[in-house]
Structure 1
Amino acid sequence: MTFSICVREEYTGDGGESQHRFGVAVTTRLPGVGTLCPFASEHGAVATQALVNVELGEKGIEHLDNGLGVEVALQSLLSSDDGRAQRQLHGVGADGTFAFSGDECLDWFGHVEGPNYTVAGNLLTGESVVEATAETYESSDRDEPLAKRLIDALEAGHEEGGDKREDLEIQSAALLVETTEETVMDPYYNDLRVDATETPIADLRETFEKAAQGYEAALEKYEDDVKEDQNADA
């Protein structure tokens, strides 16, 4: 009922140190997907879907936070899940990627793994949905915010047909981005949800744009306070 993307990126922080960011984005032809499928922390990103088991996402992130590798963490959870044949679970950690699609997921279903990213989907119009999502992410401009690029990737999959259940008009989309870098003010656009709409990707993009504008306005208004906090940390 869903397609999603999880990514890990290395970048140089404001202080010149090497940092990592993790992101996950998802959309489906049902409301409230942001409450069920995407999970992220400064140690990784996970998406749980198909016949959703929220514990797989919650415990997956918990295991990553405790230092387990992503393959060990997620495979161990699936091994003890009696419903795994109907699950999709994928994600990225500090050390690699993992993707699983159970044999009893509904067509079209499948996943792809690339350098530092995974994409998975089920009940899709075809394989081209996950391929377009992956290709758009791979070709994205790393100078742009990851949140925006995740929306671009979802949009590409959506335009390829996305979720095939056209009789379900009420849809949803969500994204999460976490980073190892400590910032005085986290960008407002890194944790967004559109819970019930007929135009999930367009609405998520509009929400991102408004949140980005609000973030810039807040930085400008409280610039002196931010500088004082940065100086105090230094």
Structure 2
Amino acid sequence: MTFSICVRETYDDEVGTEQTRFGVAVTTRLPAVGALCPFASENGVVATQSLVNVELGEKGIDYLDDGLAIEDALQALLNADEGREQRQLHGVGLDGTFAFSGAECQGWFGHRVGEHYTVAGNLLTGEEVIDAAADAYESGNRDDPLAVRLIETLEAGHEAGGDKREDLTVQSAALVVTTTEDQAPTPYYNDLRVDATRTPISDLYETYETAREGYEAAIAKYQNEQNSEA
């Protein structure tokens, strides 16, 4: 599983209340990475990759929802996992970050921990991939939607070399963004997957734009209908 990013940000909602949002995004030279790697709730995000153990992501989020700190939650899961040296596991919670790359992951592999974010990858062309991804996130425009900035992060890593398995042309990408803010209805353009394509980053961005357009059109339609009935 090539590379992924997990982030936490704070922001003020429309009435000035501080909220927290989380984001996770991933791309790889295999199909359907969105079914295996990214996990999220309003309490944090987790990515599990390399020799994937989906249970690490599922239980990791369950532990965060139960109030555990992310370091305690993910380390406890790794301690119980006999295959941990073949895993990469990283994430961000309400009060910390965690990143682990097992010694038996396939190279190039590694991770980077920044302020409220983590980036990790394996089977990459080199360390420059996660550095480019991290730098792109750090320099991104915070006025842009987090989903867009996550896609830009994946694009930067991809352009820096990305997954080294160039003989595998069927690729995928996914992103999930959550927030502590009560949003009704939840913007479904913040939970997207491109499962099988040769152009995962551009397709994920196009999917985001199309989903956002459809969401906004639906909201406008039902608001107009409610106003006409009033």
Q: TM-score band, normalised by the shorter chain?
A: over 0.9
Q: Which shifted more, 95-104 or 6-15?
A: 6-15
Q: In the alignment, which residue of structure 1 is the partner of 2:190? A: 190
Q: In the alignment, which residue of structure 1 is the partner of 2:33? A: 33
Matching of residues 124-139 of structure 1 within 5 Å: 124-139=124-139
**1:222 maps to 2:219:** no
Contact 1:155 1:201 in 2 (8 A): yes
Q: Distance in 2 between matches of 1:52 and 1:43?
A: 22
Task: Compute the displacement of 1:43 (Å).
Answer: 0.1
Q: Which shifted more, 152-161 or 139-148?
A: 139-148
**1:66 maps to 2:66:** yes
Q: Distance in 2 between matches of 1:56 and 1:221?
A: 41
Task: Compute the displacement of 1:224 (Å).
Answer: 5.0
Q: Distance in 2 between matches of 1:129 and 1:198?
A: 19
Q: Distance in 1 between matches of 2:40 and 2:55?
A: 13
Matching of residues 1-234 of structure 1 within 5 Å: 1-223=1-223
Aligned identity (percent) is: 70
Q: In the alignment, which residue of structure 2 is the partner of 1:232? A: none
Task: Compute the displacement of 1:188 (Å).
Answer: 2.3
Contact 1:184 1:226 in 2 (8 A): no
Q: Distance in 2 between matches of 1:210 and 1:142?
A: 22
Moved >6 Å (runs of 4+): none
Code of the residue aligned with 2:102 in structure 1: it is: G
Q: Distance in 2 between matches of 1:143 and 1:208?
A: 17
SS at match of 1:20: strand
Q: Distance in 1 between matches of 2:61 and 2:69?
A: 11
- Count of residues in correspondence between the two structures: 227
Task: Compute the displacement of 1:107 (Å).
Answer: 0.4
Q: Which shifted more, 3-12 or 185-194?
A: 185-194
Q: Which shifted more, 69-78 or 215-224?
A: 215-224
Q: Distance in 1 between matches of 2:221 and 2:150?
A: 28
TM-score between both structures, scaled by the size of structure 2:
0.96
Q: State the Cα RMSD in Å.
A: 1.2
Task: Compute the displacement of 1:165 (Å).
Answer: 0.1
TM-score between both structures, scaled by the size of structure 1:
0.94
Code of the residue aligned with 2:135 in structure 1: it is: E
Q: Distance in 2 between matches of 1:141 and 1:222?
A: 32
Q: Distance in 2 between matches of 1:61 and 1:226?
A: 38
Q: Distance in 1 between matches of 2:194 and 2:224?
A: 33
Alpha-carbon deviations, 1:165-203, whole Å to 9, x = none? 000010000000111000122222100000001111111
SS at match of 1:185: coil
SS at match of 1:74: helix
Structure 1 residues 76, 31: CA separation in 2 closer, same or farther (over 3 Å shift)? same
Alpha-carbon deviations, 1:2-40, whole Å to 9, x = none? 100000000111232110011100000000100000000
Q: Distance in 2 between matches of 1:184 and 1:104?
A: 44
Task: Compute the displacement of 1:223 (Å).
Answer: 2.5
